[in-house]
């Protein structure tokens, strides 16, 4: 499903957006909508004004963070534009397109929250909660696309070629085991009276036959 293309008005900022900041701040942008959803559903049962105020405060912060996340993401995209192949470029364009929707969606979310506070009706409350769930699901879906760009396509990440055989070699390397004692009977040699050498083998005898004479044959 192709979404309608939305554009963002270019704003000349008095400062330059640093590159490679987007991965650092995006985690808070992903976590805030989930936290707001939890607060709103807890507040359905608790009905505490303080929870509503806290949720409104988080939505305001979310709107600001989404705006700066979009700016930092655009700076990172310009940095990686020369190293992308066709497939990763398509995924990056989809990631950027959804980010624009999230940018406008954060503003709509704030307006719906204000409307639900003023109207205090069940209809506006339900509309706000449904839009909040849609916004959060879209945010998580776009975060998955960003994860794919970084971890599978290596966008703005230095790739390291690690041979697969090296891992197999580490797995095959084991500590040599100590050689087990052989069960083969070891022969013993002892000298009898006439100087001849007689060999005896270690033979396991029953317990009852242990009274064996130890005297050797000294007669010729």
Q: Look at residue 216 and tell me if it is in a domain.
A: no
Q: Look at residue 139 and tell me if it is in a domain.
A: yes
Q: Look at residue 192 and tell me if it is in a domain.
A: no
Alpha helix ranges (H) inside 9-121: 22-46, 49-80, 86-119
| Residue 39 banded pLDDT, cuts 50, 70, 90 | very high
Q: Look at residue 27 and tell me if it is in a domain.
A: yes
Q: Is 60 exceeded by the pLDDT of residue 184?
A: no
For residues 181-193, one letter each, b for 16 or more C-beta atoms within 10 angstroms of the residue's C-beta and e for the rest, the string is eeeeeeeeeeeee
Q: Look at residue 7 and tell me if it is in a domain.
A: no
Q: Is 60 exceeded by the pLDDT of residue 183?
A: no
Question: What value does the mean pLDDT take over residues 18-38?
Answer: 90
Q: Look at residue 122 and tell me if it is in a domain.
A: yes
Domain count, the chain: 1
Q: Please answer whether residues 168 and 156 qualify as being in contact, where contact means their C-beta atoms are separated by less than 8 angstroms.
A: no
54: its two tokens = 């806290």
User: In this structure, what DSSP letter does residue 83 have?
Assistant: G
Question: Which residue segment(s) compose the domain that 128 sits in?
Answer: 22-165
Q: Look at residue 101 and tell me if it is in a domain.
A: yes
User: In this structure, what DSSP letter does residue 157 have?
Assistant: S
| pTM for this entry | 0.67
């Amino acid at each position: 499903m192709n979404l309608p293309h939305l554009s963002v008005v270019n704003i000349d900022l008095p400062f330059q957006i640093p590159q490679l900041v987007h991965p650092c701040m995006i985690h808070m942008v992903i976590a805030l909508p989930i936290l707001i959803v939890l607060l709103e559903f807890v507040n359905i049962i608790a009905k505490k004004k303080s929870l509503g105020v806290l949720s409104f405060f988080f939505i305001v912060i979310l709107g600001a963070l989404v705006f700066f996340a979009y700016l930092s993401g655009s700076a990172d995209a310009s940095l990686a534009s020369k190293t992308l192949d066709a497939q990763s470029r398509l995924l990056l364009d989809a990631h950027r397109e959804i980010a624009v929707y999230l940018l406008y969606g954060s503003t709509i979310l704030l307006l719906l929250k204000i409307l639900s506070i003023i109207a205090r009706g069940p209809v506006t409350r339900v509309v706000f909660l449904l839009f909040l769930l849609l916004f959060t699901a879209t945010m998580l879906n776009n975060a998955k696309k960003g994860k794919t760009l970084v971890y599978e396509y290596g966008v703005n990440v230095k790739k390291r070629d690690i041979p697969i055989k090296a891992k197999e070699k580490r797995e095959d390397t084991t500590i040599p085991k100590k050689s087990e004692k052989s069960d083969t009977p070891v022969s013993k040699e002892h000298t009898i009276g006439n100087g001849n050498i007689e060999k005896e083998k270690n033979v396991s005898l029953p317990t009852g036959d242990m009274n064996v004479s130890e005297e050797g044959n000294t007669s010729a």
